[in-house]
Amino acid sequence: MDLLKKHYEKIILGAVLLVLVVVAAWLPMKIKGERSGLEQQANDIINKPSKPIAPLNISTQQMRFSRLATAGVVDLSTTNKALNPLQWQKATDGRLIKIQTGKETGPDALIVTNQRPLHLVITFDSVSTSDSGTRYVFYVEREAAAKPANRGRKAFISKKDEKNEVFVLRQVKGPPDAPTEVVLELVEGGELVSVAKEKPFKRVDGYTVDLRYPLENRPPWLNQRVGGALKFGGEDYIIVAISKTEVVVLAKSNQKKTPVPVPQ
């Protein structure tokens, strides 16, 4: 005890010195560790991998560029009528017709209300045998004939290779007095067709149409054929062609042809 009392100051000083020595030895390691940690944090920030930049959405700009590449057209005459006055035409029933395209009147305004086919029908009727040879009886209907007298049912008596105004009898199949079938060559076009008693030949050779002009209070034209005359809108017209899909009319004043569609 006496020793402690005499030397406690030295003991305290020694302990303090020992602590200082430990701290002096530990401090460089601490500094080194802190420095290493700071360098690691700097490297993590500086060398951080970057994300790829998302592609830019330039669809709006591309759309605008495409619009600039197409020249704009300002219509000031047909629809907007900024320069030309809009025309109106009065129908016979008092209605006002707005003329926008130019097809609201005249032949473009014709309407086909009905269409009927015209047939060529050849029927093999019988066989006639006499001293002059064997002849064959046919009946022909030409609904599309230009002359009304030729449209009805007409009999033709023909022998082989004999020509009439409609056909030439080219071949007889089977017994001459009771053939199963005969082959005819049509005068118009040279087509070869087969005809039997139970199987007449039939084809469409034309059409008739019913027409109406809605801008005038007048009866419709019924059963019109090629060559039919029409008068409407103060003009004279002639039907020059009729097909399954259209009727063509010709204006006498300027020879202009106008197709009129047939509703399908």
| Among the listed residues 175, 214, 185, the one whose alpha carbon sits nearest the alpha carbon of residue 97 | 214
Taking only the tens place, the pLDDT of each residue in 10-60 is: 777 777 777 777 777 777 887 887 888 778 877 777 777 777 778 878 888
Q: What is the pLDDT of residue 236?
A: 93
* Average pLDDT value over all residues in the chain: 84
**139 confidence band (pLDDT: 50, 70, 90):** very high
The half-sphere exposure of 216 on its side-chain side, counting CA atoms within 13 A, is: 19
Q: What is the pLDDT of residue 106?
A: 80
Mean pLDDT, residues 144-169 taken together: 92
Share of the chain above pLDDT 70, in %: 84
Listed range (82-96, 112-126, 155-169, 221-235) with the worst mean pLDDT: 82-96
Share of the chain above pLDDT 90, in %: 45
**Contact yes or no for 262/245 (Cβ under 8 A):** yes
The half-sphere exposure of 254 on its side-chain side, counting CA atoms within 13 A, is: 5
* 15 Cβ contact list (under 8 Å, min separation 6): none
* Alpha-carbon dihedral 146, 149, 154, 158, rounded to 10 degrees: -70
Distance between CA atoms of 243 and 117, rounded to whole angstroms? 10
Three-state SS at 159: coil
Residue 196 has pLDDT above 80, yes or no: yes
Distance between CA atoms of 21 and 209, rounded to whole angstroms? 127
Distance between CA atoms of 151 and 144, rounded to whole angstroms? 7
Return the DSSP state at 67: H
Q: What is the pLDDT of residue 79?
A: 62
Q: What is the pLDDT of residue 234?
A: 83
Report the range out of 44-48, 62-66, 203-207 with the highest average pLDDT: 203-207
Distance between CA atoms of 264 and 117, rounded to whole angstroms? 14
| Among the listed residues 202, 205, 180, 194, the one whose alpha carbon sits nearest the alpha carbon of residue 122 | 202
**Contact yes or no for 222/214 (Cβ under 8 A):** no
Residue 1 has pLDDT above 80, yes or no: no
Instruction: Please report, as a single letter, which amino acid is at residue 166.
Output: V
Distance between CA atoms of 186 and 152, rounded to whole angstroms? 18
Q: What is the pLDDT of residue 261?
A: 93
Return the DSSP state at 188: T
* Alpha-carbon dihedral 135, 138, 144, 150, rounded to 10 degrees: 70
Mean pLDDT, residues 75-102 taken together: 65
Mean pLDDT, residues 84-111 taken together: 71
Distance between CA atoms of 184 and 160, rounded to whole angstroms? 10
Distance between CA atoms of 248 and 257, rounded to whole angstroms? 6
Q: What is the pLDDT of residue 67?
A: 78
Mean pLDDT, residues 104-121 taken together: 90
Distance between CA atoms of 169 and 155, rounded to whole angstroms? 14
Residues in the chain: 264
Taking only the tens place, the pLDDT of each residue in 209-259 is: 999 998 888 899 999 999 999 998 889 999 999 999 999 999 999 999 999
Return the DSSP state at 254: T
Three-state SS at 22: helix
